[in-house]
A and B are shown apart, each in its own frame.
Chain A
């Protein structure tokens, strides 16, 4: 992932600098400020806002995982919710059947996710584009069916209740604790993605996305790297699902409908394909969107009348926003952000000079 120099006065003079995640003092300062704000947030925010933040963090992990697969390796998946369901159900089943503690269930969930990743990924060796999307869609239904089957056969038809994870005698129940746990998990995921992408793996994925035949001619193991992308993405998604199960304290197949898969695809489209920042922006947007709609409806006169229709309004508005992004802004929020950035960088000029153009 080559990055352009931000301002006009900064140029790299070595490969180490080119690879460094933080390139200037300003960036380091900005990151420190961001971390400080994020660390202070749970002490200032209300319980509701904290829950929203936690949801955003959970969604970010899932969206980052999908972005690796779709945005970077170019493999389409409509079965993301199925993988999250697999993670959540691994936790639920292990907890119900064996009372396994969380430090065993989480790795188990990641392992199940990785195995499923191989299964989800195998069709990608033969199928491309549309047909691959369809095969992941079919696998999604299969996984969710198995989860539902477990629920009914064992008599948990309304869902499985899970106790909060405990370390010694300390139970993770408060939103604030969860905020730091999920924040740590999201940050770790982001770092993992960044590192994968600036290493050979990321470059191999980019080559496969650009042109499979050429990638193969360059000596890249196309099949292995495709499977690797599926395995990593699926393991992360299953982990996100497992964390979701612990956070909610409840597992049920209803939470992992096809709509969730579509929401994750929407996150990476609305955020902007091929950008980790986009995954996080998209996750934030899609997670907060229904609450925004609810607030907007409540502000309208005669709010009571709309209360029953809230779900439908949400649905319709979500579809409309997705269409608008697909038709009008295929680059997503990141595209808008880059345009704004370029505007200020170039000011008072309007365009980048031809020679310095990197995109």
Chain B
């Protein structure tokens, strides 16, 4: 029973992070390898907002999430906009470089020591007993709830929202979308902003649950296989992929070897790339374009 809870929590973490990869990739065909660092930045922003102007947890979290939306938009406007139309790989490497830059800056500003924003915000992270003898910490429960909420909101937004429609159109065909009067730069900036926002939300909730230090970026990178297994341009796929990767990881750690934690997502990724490189729910065509 505890195993099932662990799987759900880990899947929720991966899913919340993976939707950031999916959003950016689906709209602009750029793989954002700095997502882990952006997510960490969101968590550090919470440390900042909590310290500087508000000790109430809701206000602090809202401010941090808002700021990270801004960060995402700024990243697009000042960096990634210059890379549109360049080779796909140059754009990916730019995000890698951005990740390195951000990581260095974060250590400079907030030091490499482990921090516990939960203590500062006076959130007590007690365990909730579930039926069946399993336990789940309050923050982990919040994380699962947040994931459900974010996915619900994203589905509704992409399906019914005006800007969601524009984002889908831009993802399908940038050229046609631009000709129908859609402002591509605004759409891309929005995608980056939303992606950073969801990533920051994930970072904040993980930091509240288990503290915050430099290893968080690795969690971000481990969530990437989840996005790819499901198909890089599919939100449903990200959910399914997260569930698969989390199940494999929890079970293998429990029954085989705890050291495997670092590699399981990548093993699943390799298996998927061999069988179905475009993922469970991804679109196939882009792989074979000449």
B94, A327: Cβ atoms closer than 8 Å: yes
- Of the stretches A61-69, A121-129, A279-287, A342-350, the one at the interface is A121-129
Instruction: Mark out the residues of chain A between 121 and 162 whose CB falls within 8 Å of any chain B CB in the assembled complex.
Output: 123, 126-131, 133-135, 137-139, 141-142, 145, 148-149, 152
**Residue in B closest to A131 when the chains form the complex, CB atoms:** B277
Q: Contact: A138 with B104, CB < 8 Å?
A: no
**Minimum C-beta distance from B29 to chain A (A):** 9
A269 touches B107 (CB 8 A): no
How distant is the Cα of A323 from the Cα of B83 in the complex, in angstroms? 11
Q: Is A30's CB within 8 Å of the partner chain B?
A: no
B263 is contacted by which of A76, A145, A259, A309 (Cβ under 8 Å)?
A145
The reply to whether A142 and B83 form a contact with Cβ atoms under 8 Å apart is no
Interface centre among A135, A148, A266 (most CB of B within 10 A): A135
CA distance in complex: A142, B259 (Å) = 12
CB distance from A162 to the nearest CB of B (A): 23
Q: A141-B262, A327-B94, A330-B90 are known contacts. Are A312 and B101 too (CB-CB below 8 A)? A: no
Chain A positions 270-319 with a Cβ under 8 Å from a chain B Cβ? 309, 311-319
The answer to whether B88 and A129 have CB atoms under 8 Å apart is yes
Contacts of A138 in B (CB 8 A): 225, 266-267, 269-270, 273
Contact check, A123 vs B97: say whether CB atoms are below 8 A apart.
no
Given A131-B287, A134-B269, A213-B290, A319–B89 Cβ distance below 8 Å? no
Which residue from B79, B274, B287 sits with its C-beta under 8 Å from A128? Answer: B287
A87 to B102 Cα, complex, angstroms: 31
Cβ contact within 8 Å between B259 and A148: yes
Q: A130-B89, A148-B259, A152-B259 are in contact. Are A318 and B104 (CB under 8 A)?
A: yes
Inter-chain CB contacts under 8 Å: number: 118
Q: Does B245 contact A (CB under 8 A)?
A: no
Binary CB contact string for chain B from 132 to 173 against chain A (1 if under 8 A, 0 otherwise): 000000000000000000000000000000000000000000
Task: Write out the residue numbers on chain A whose beta carbons fall within 8 Å of the beta carbon of B97.
Answer: 266, 319-320, 322-323, 326
B104's contact among A123, A133, A265, A312, by CB below 8 Å, is which?
Answer: A312
**Contact among A269, A309, A323 for B101, CB-based, below 8 A:** A323
Q: How far is the CB of B14 from chain A (nearest CB, A)?
A: 16
A47 within 8 A of B: no
- B 255-290 to A, binary, CB cutoff 8 A, 1 in contact else 0: 000011011001101100110010000000001001
Q: Complex: how many Å from CA A141 to CA B88?
A: 23
B105 at the interface (CB under 8 A from A): yes
In the complex, the answer to whether B89 meets A326 with C-beta atoms within 8 Å is: no
Interface centre among A130, A211, A315, A316 (most CB of B within 10 A): A130
Instruction: Compute how far the CA of A110 lies from the CA of B227 in the bound complex, rounded to whole angstroms.
Output: 35
Whether B277 pairs with A126 at a CB distance below 8 angstroms is yes
The contact size tier of chain B is 35 or more
Q: Mark B67-93, 1 if CB is under 8 A from A, else 0.
A: 000000000000100110010111011
Interface of A: prevailing SS: helix
B270 & A322 in contact (Cβ 8 Å cutoff): no
Contact partner of B273 (CB less than 8 A), chosen from A131, A211, A314, is A131
1/0 per position for B88-116, CB-CB distance to A under 8 A?
Answer: 11101110111111111101100010000
* A31 contacts partner chain B, Cβ-Cβ < 8 Å: no
Q: Note all chain B residues with C-beta closer than 8 A to A327.
A: 79, 82-83, 94
Residue of A nearest to B274 (CB): A123
Q: A133-B89, A330-B90 are in contact. Are A127 and B273 (CB under 8 A)?
A: yes
Chain B residues within 8 Å of A134, by CB? 31, 224, 228, 269, 273
Binding site for B on A (CB under 8 A): 76, 123, 126-131, 133-135, 137-139, 141-142, 145, 148-149, 152, 211-213, 258-259, 262, 265-266, 269, 309, 311-320, 322-323, 326-327, 330
Q: Which 8 A-B pairs have the closest CB atoms?
A: A316-B104, A319-B101, A315-B104, A319-B100, A322-B97, A312-B107, A138-B266, A145-B263
* 17 extra interface residue pairs, beta carbon distance < 8 Å, beyond A126-B277, A309-B107: A128-B287, A130-B89, A135-B273, A142-B263, A145-B262, A145-B263, A148-B259, A314-B104, A315-B100, A316-B104, A316-B108, A318-B101, A320-B101, A322-B93, A323-B98, A326-B97, A327-B82
